[in-house]
Amino acid sequence: MSAAPPVVALATRADEPEVRRLLRENPMAGRVRVSLEREPDAFLAAAVEGRPHHTVVAREAASGRLVGMGHRAVMDVYANGVPARVGYLSQLRVDGAYRGRRRLLARGYDLLAAQRGPDEEPFDLTSIMADNEPALRLLGAGVPGLPTYRPLGRFVTLVISTWRAPRSNGGPPVEAGRPEHALEIAACLDRNAARYQLARRWLAADLASNERCPGLRPGDFRLAFGRGGRVTGTAALWDQSAFKQVVVRGYSPAVARARWWINRGAWLLGAPRLPAPGRALPHAYLSHVAVDGDDTSVFERLLAAILAEASRRRYAYVVAGFAERHPFLTVLRRRCRAREYPSVLHAVYGEDGIQAASSLDGRLPHVEVALL
């Protein structure tokens, strides 16, 4: 007699320890296997990603043990230049014995979709690592019962070494943020977000909120100023280690064999090293990036200031991320020693979302790497 299928339901507070276990024990596949962990409280990190937020779990009928999960958080973004609310799907994790069960995935997606509010777009956003071939094959195959995954473009996450960080290219100096800059920072972020596709909207109240931006302080920002003292560029150094961690869990056989040589070369070149399995990546994020007109010279000054501050605070790495066609990615590749981890952004939708997802125009996606 076959065992009863897992029970799919919304997670409760009682599930929180098991949610963290699933994240810890089910790393993302790829040449470098990493677990995106949420210690000490998975729901604390969920509140940062968006609101409302829901986690769906699959529970063994007999034991009650969690064997799968998925998460959806609603973000305030710009879509086609106007404010919109879009869900972001993440943390899809399934224990080994239950992987490939399409009905289980379909039930989870249906339950998350049922949480969509009337003020939300009928499609979601997600990101899949470019070398996670099993996930790309399954989710992009148009499997009956699963939503459609439409690629929106490649996104590149960079892990930048703070050793031998680039110096400023000259020009007017940038300044550390102060509390009185909050409204100007929010205005700079907002007017530039509107130029992009699915860029996060930040209000001054969000920047000051310990729920929306925990650990982020005015002094973590670096600002560029234009005529009349207007903020024309902003970037922040956001340490999220108090509620979110990236832990290396293993390497592909080829990378594992070459790791000693890779790290030796990294030490000589000032590039990021590959940590031992089980070690967290000591890092902070380059976040809240906005520059009027995408002026690369301003971005270079902000980048140099952020990396200098990261080095001063003894972070080994800074994690940045931009769409593959973004001009700031070209700057990072030219100015920094970094390891790249490409992914593919997707719009995810059922039949009711076909028209809305198809209407997204050709604006460059600009998602916040610190919230992926």
CA proximity to 318, closest of 276, 286, 271, 341: 286
Q: Is the pLDDT of residue 53 over 50?
A: yes
pLDDT tier, 75 (very low <50, low <70, confident <90, very high otherwise) = very high
Q: 296 to each of 102, 181, 309, 322, 331, how far by Cα in Å?
A: 45, 22, 20, 14, 7
187 shares its domain with 306? yes
Residue 149: CATH number of its domain: 3.40.630.30
Q: Is the pLDDT of residue 88 over 90?
A: yes
Whole-number Å distance between alpha carbons of 205 and 186:
9
Q: Is the pLDDT of residue 267 over 70?
A: no
87 shares its domain with 222? no
Q: Which residue's structure tokens are 């009682």?
A: 14
Q: What amino acid is encoded at 285 in this protein?
A: Y
What's the pLDDT tens digit per position in 59-69?
A: 998 888 999 99
68 shares its domain with 101? yes
Q: Is the pLDDT of residue 71 over 80?
A: yes
Specify if 265 maps to a domain. Answer: no
Please provide the average confidence, as pLDDT, over all residues in the chain.
91
Higher-confidence position of 314 and 79: 79
181 shares its domain with 73? no
Q: What are phi and psi of 189, to 5 degrees?
A: -60, -45
**pLDDT in the model for residue 268:** 67
170 shares its domain with 126? no
Q: Is the pLDDT of residue 279 over 80?
A: yes
- Which alpha helices (H) appear in 119-229, and where do they start and end? 133-139, 182-193, 204-208
Specify if 18 maps to a domain. Answer: yes
**pLDDT in the model for residue 1:** 44
Q: Kindly state the tokens that stand for 284.
A: 């902070």
What's the pLDDT tens digit per position in 193-207?
A: 999 999 999 999 999
Q: Specify whether the CB–CB gap between 230 and 209 falls below 8 A.
A: no
The crossing angle, in degrees rounded to 10, of helices 327-335 and 296-312 is 50
Q: 244 to each of 38, 42, 56, 370, how far by Cα in Å?
A: 5, 8, 19, 10
121 shares its domain with 186? no
Q: Measured over all CA atoms, what is the biggest interatomic distance in the chain, rounded to whole angstroms?
A: 76
Q: Which domain holds residue 85?
A: 7-153+345-371
Specify if 259 maps to a domain. Answer: no
120 shares its domain with 198? no
What's the pLDDT tens digit per position in 309-349?
A: 999 998 989 999 999 999 999 999 999 988 899 999 999 99
212 shares its domain with 79? no
Number of domains in the chain: 2
Specify if 251 maps to a domain. Answer: no
Highest mean pLDDT among 32-46, 157-171, 346-360: 346-360
This prediction's pTM: 0.90
285 shares its domain with 365? no
84 shares its domain with 189? no
Give the up-direction half-sphere exposure of residue 59: CA atoms within 13 A in the CB hemisphere: 19
186 shares its domain with 296? yes
Specify if 252 maps to a domain. Answer: no
Higher-confidence position of 327 and 130: 327
pLDDT tier, 227 (very low <50, low <70, confident <90, very high otherwise) = confident
Specify if 212 maps to a domain. Answer: yes
**pLDDT in the model for residue 271:** 67
